[in-house]
Amino acid sequence: MGITSAIMIISGIGIIAAVMLVLAAKFMHVEEDERIGKIVECLPGANCGACGYAGCADYAKAIVEKDAEVNLCIPGGAAAAAGAAKVMGKVAGATAAMKAVVACQGFDCNTNKKYEYQGVTTCAAASKMFAGPSACAFGCVGFGDCVAACKFDALQIVNGVALVNMEKCTGCGACAKACPKSIIHMIPDDVNPVVLCQNTDKGAQTRKVCSTGCIGCMKCTKFCPTNAISVSNNLAVIDQDLCIACMQCADECPVNAIQLPNLRLYK
């Protein structure tokens, strides 16, 4: 009799709790604007955060509830912007197409290692030990933190350096955030040349550790017809807004540190 009573009591408590949960769900339910779901369907679902929000759902919610711009999804591009704009009854506006570029040419043939690393094989871990195994303290570590961060299979480690497949890159910027050396840059999807180096040491020191490192000779600045190039801290920098892609800088660079990013496309 005691066991039966206990079972009945426990069952009753369970039923009451279930009823309370159902009532709570009914009375506390907040209706979600159906436009949020429609906008989510227009987005690529990468949840990369390039838009500045935690994921696609948060971005869609911000568009509906906070009047966020509809053209912030870089991976989705113009199609995502147009879809979101249609849902919201807005004009999409221009979407900036971006690509990732790894500013390093420290391939195995261009530089050496200062030690054999045997720790945790991540760039973040290796870079904390004397700036990584590469002789160049500014170069790519080559353990693929960027590869792991990319959701579009757009990066690969080739001979010790990360390379970007421009055909697959969506410009989400996840790789740039994952790189502990900050050598991955997001640039406009144009055909302008870029400086594929981050070494700010003096030229003589740079030459000792990498055969293709920028030596800050300023030769590129003298031949640029639009003054798009400057040298700061022994490193050339190209203003992409002023660059007209004449390629005179690349032709005159004595160490081939300036190249078109799409020339490093792998397939």
- Is a pLDDT exceeding 70 seen at residue 30? no
Q: What pLDDT does 183 receive?
A: 96
Query: Tell me: the pLDDT tens digits for 90-142?
Result: 888 777 788 999 999 999 899 999 999 999 999 999 999 999 999 999 999 99
Global confidence as pTM: 0.76
Query: Tell me: the pLDDT tens digits for 207-266?
Result: 999 999 999 999 999 999 999 999 999 999 999 899 999 999 999 999 999 998 865 544
103, two tokens: 């500013």
Per-residue confidence band for 88, with pLDDT thresholds at 50, 70 and 90: very high
Q: What pLDDT does 74 receive?
A: 85
Q: What pLDDT does 48 receive?
A: 86
Tally of CB atoms within 10 A around 62: 19
Sign of dihedral through CA atoms 147, 151, 152, 153?
A: positive
Q: Which domains does the chain have, with CATH numbers?
A: 34-88 (1.10.15.40), 98-264 (3.30.70.20)
- Is a pLDDT exceeding 50 seen at residue 267? no
Site of tokens 């195995």:
108
Per-residue confidence band for 28, with pLDDT thresholds at 50, 70 and 90: low
